[in-house]
């Protein structure tokens, strides 16, 4: 495997010369969450899986390092294509703990591996520091399939009982995407029907469903909150599949275009997962144009091009809050913060899902924003205040780090964003790509 460009023992900073207008067009890259879900799902297949559209980001590198450490052969064929060939026997004794503790995605190995091993352990999952994030939904749902998960100080211990081949009904304790994907993985290799209620139908879950169908698993209800998985006893085929584009990245570029008062076109936008966001922006007086629909390379995900025009925005009278799809995407909500800074009036943003994510947004006051934290979940933003340059250290969370970064694009002068590993977890060559549409960003590297 080609090694990642950014090593774990290096520090990357961005120097942003802000106040530049963005222009031209920028393509939405392949989905981060789709990439990691597909990599984990590929373990269900005893044959070779070729995945196109896998994002070249730190999160993906960590997942691949974990897979290689347990015996999986992973090869990059080109910039965004990998082949995955599982071993005849998985060896979790040598799992890469350093990589495993840097990503929450490791939890999604449980669903495939229960069909390969009778008992095993994996390190605790981490990722962004967003408050308490339990795995209760994973534990409860998988226990209905005969899987026991015991939490120790450092690991999750998994013991697989005999999984019965019969009709099963599972109610998700929470509609968290990783838990829903784990249940899909687990039920795919259990012959018979598994009905799962209160499922997430968000973009990454649909992506996994499309892939499982390609593997030969029939799934009823894709795009709804109740799925019926018709499991099989074995999957052994050589297949190819395309991952689709990332709606969260599309929203980031939309937010960047708005906060810099730019005329910018974002192409290959998964519109089904941004329609409500665009409706809210329309009501804030954003001027934009949307192209006709076309399809992603997977043949299933609808795409459009969105042209953002310079606009005088006004704050909404109602609060802006996320919800389970089809509400505003939980990861899109932070990108309304820069937009609210641009809009005239006061905006209240309610992030009910995470305990501490909105706290990180108060760092924007260093850049001249007027952000008031009402409580750990709610922000009041007084819009219309000009942004100014500053030096900020990335918080330990992906989306808040990116919000600070794009606000720096609008702050005239030189800003420094320190330790951008969090941003590189989710965005591929983002400084270079922003520079291609008019930003002025330098990448500063310093060994720790």
Residue 5 phi, psi dihedral angles, 5° rounding: -75, -25
pLDDT digits (tens, 9 = 90+) for 76-90: 999 999 999 999 999
pLDDT for 9 equals: 44
Outline where 260-356 has alpha helix (H): 275-283, 336-342
Res 5 pLDDT > 60: no
Please say whether the beta carbons of 58 and 6 come within 8 A.
yes
d(CA 356, CA 343): 24
Residue 227 has pLDDT above 90, yes or no: yes
DSSP character for 314?
B
Detail the DSSP E strand segments found in 172-238.
192-197, 218-220, 226-231
How do residues 20-49 score in pLDDT, each as one tens digit? 999 999 999 999 999 999 999 999 999 999
pLDDT, the chain, mean: 93
Query: Which residues does residue 308 pair with via DSSP β-bridges, in sequence order?
Result: 264, 288
- Grade residue 162 by pLDDT with cuts at 50, 70 and 90: confident
Q: What is the pLDDT of residues 295-310, one digit of tens each?
A: 999 999 999 999 999 9
The per-residue pLDDT for 4 is: 40
User: What percent of the chain stands above pLDDT 70?
Assistant: 94
The end-to-end CA distance of the chain, in Å, is 25
Residue 362 scores a pLDDT above 50: yes
Cα gap 40→201, rounded to integer Å:
18
Query: How far apart, in Å, are the Cα atoms of 380 and each of 341, 349, 359, 368, 375?
Result: 10, 7, 12, 14, 10
| 6 pLDDT above the threshold of 50 | no
Residue owning tokens 């992906």: 398
Residue that the structure tokens 């590993």 belong to:
421
Question: Measured between alpha carbons, how far is 303 from 295 in angstroms, rounded to an integer?
Answer: 5
The class of domain 32-242 in CATH terms is alpha beta
8 pLDDT exceeds 60?
no
Dihedral (CA of 29, 35, 37, 41) sign: positive
Residue 280: is its pLDDT beyond 90?
yes
What is the residue whose two structure tokens read 């802000």?
18
Beta pairing class for 346-350 and 302-309: unpaired
CATH 3.65.10.10 region(s) of the chain? Answer: 10-28+245-447, 32-242
Residue 296 tokens, joined: 């992603």
How many other CB atoms are there within 10 angstroms of residue 148's CB atom?
Answer: 13
Residue 82's contacts (CB-CB under 8 Å, 6 or more residues apart) are: 39, 50, 51, 54, 64, 74, 75, 76
Distance CA 172, CA 164 (A): 19
For residues 172 and 199, is the Cβ–Cβ distance under 8 A?
yes
- The pLDDT, as a whole number, for residue 3 is 42
What is the mean pLDDT of the segment spanning 93-112? 91
Mean pLDDT of the region 316-330 = 93
Q: In terms of C-beta density within 10 A (0-12 exposed, 13-18 middle, 19 or more buried), how is residue 4 classed?
A: middle
* pLDDT in the model for residue 101: 86
Kindly write down the DSSP assignment for every residue of 18-61, as one continuous string: E-PPPEEEEE--B-HHHHHHHHHHGGG-SS-EEEES---SHHHH
Residue of higher predicted confidence among 65 and 447: 65
Exposure letters 268-288 (e unless 16+ CB within 10 A, then b):
bbbbbbbebbbebbeebebeb
- Residue 408 φ then ψ, to 5°: -65, -30
Angle between helices 177-188 and 203-214 (to 10 degrees): 10
Grade residue 161 by pLDDT with cuts at 50, 70 and 90.
confident
Residues 417/427, Cβ–Cβ less than 8 Å: no
pLDDT one-digit tens code per residue, 171-193: 999 989 999 999 999 999 999 99
CB 103 within 8 A of CB 59: yes
Q: Is 177 helix (H, G, I), strand (E, B) or coil?
A: helix
Please name the residue that has the structure tokens 């999604």. 108
Q: What is the pLDDT of residue 10?
A: 59
- The count of C-alpha atoms lying within 13 angstroms of the C-alpha of 127, restricted to the half-sphere facing its C-beta, is 21
In this prediction, residues 413-431 reach a mean pLDDT of 95
**Among the four given CATH numbers 3.40.640.10, 3.20.20.100, 3.65.10.10, 3.40.50.360, the one describing domain 10-28+245-447:** 3.65.10.10
pLDDT at 134: 75
Bond prior to 326 in cis (omega within 30° of 0): yes
């Amino acid at each position: 495997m080609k090694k990642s460009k950014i090593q774990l023992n290096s520090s990357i900073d961005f120097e942003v010369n802000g106040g530049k207008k963005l222009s031209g067009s920028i393509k939405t890259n392949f989905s981060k969450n789709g990439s990691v879900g597909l990599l984990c799902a590929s373990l269900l297949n005893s044959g070779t899986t070729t995945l196109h559209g896998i994002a070249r980001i730190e999160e993906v590198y960590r997942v691949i390092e974990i897979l290689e450490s347990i015996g999986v052969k992973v090869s990059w064929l080109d910039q965004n294509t990998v082949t995955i060939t599982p071993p005849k026997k998985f060896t979790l004794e040598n799992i890469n703990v350093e990589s495993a503790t840097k990503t929450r995605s490791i939890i999604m190995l449980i669903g495939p591996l229960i069909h390969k091993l009778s008992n095993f352990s994996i390190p605790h999952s981490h990722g962004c520091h967003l408050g308490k994030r339990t795995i209760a939904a994973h534990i409860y749902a998988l226990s209905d399939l005969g899987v026991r998960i015991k939490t120790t100080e450092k690991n999750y211990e998994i013991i697989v009982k005999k999984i019965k081949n019969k009709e099963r009904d599972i109610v998700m304790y929470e509609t968290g995407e990783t838990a829903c994907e784990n249940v899909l993985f687990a039920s795919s290799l259990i012959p018979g029907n598994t009905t799962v209620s209160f499922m997430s139908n968000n973009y990454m879950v649909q992506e996994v469903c499309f892939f499982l169908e390609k593997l030969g698993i029939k799934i009823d209800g894709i795009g709804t909150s109740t799925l019926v998985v018709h499991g099989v006893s074995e999957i052994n085929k050589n297949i190819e599949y395309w991952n689709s584009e990332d709606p969260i990245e599309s929203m980031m570029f939309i937010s960047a275009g708005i906060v810099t008062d730019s005329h910018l076109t974002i192409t290959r936008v998964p519109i089904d997962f941004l329609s409500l966001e665009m409706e809210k922006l329309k009501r804030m007086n954003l001027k934009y144009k949307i192209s006709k629909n076309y399809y992603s390379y997977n043949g299933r995900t609808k795409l459009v091009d969105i042209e953002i025009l310079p606009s005088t925005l006004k704050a909404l009278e109602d609060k802006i809050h996320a919800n389970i799809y089809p509400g505003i995407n939980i990861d899109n909500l932070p990108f309304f913060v820069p937009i609210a800074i641009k809009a005239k009036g006061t905006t209240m943003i309610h992030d009910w899902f995470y305990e501490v994510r909105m706290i990180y947004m108060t760092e924007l006051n260093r850049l001249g924003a007027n952000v008031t934290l009402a409580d750990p979940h709610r922000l009041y933003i007084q819009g219309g205040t000009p942004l100014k340059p500053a030096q900020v250290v990335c918080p330990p969370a992906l989306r808040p780090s990116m919000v600070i970064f794009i606000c720096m694009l609008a702050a005239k002068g030189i800003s420094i964003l320190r330790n951008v590993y969090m941003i590189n977890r989710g965005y591929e060559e983002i400084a270079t790509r922003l520079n291609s549409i008019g930003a002025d960003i330098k990448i500063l590297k310093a060994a720790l």
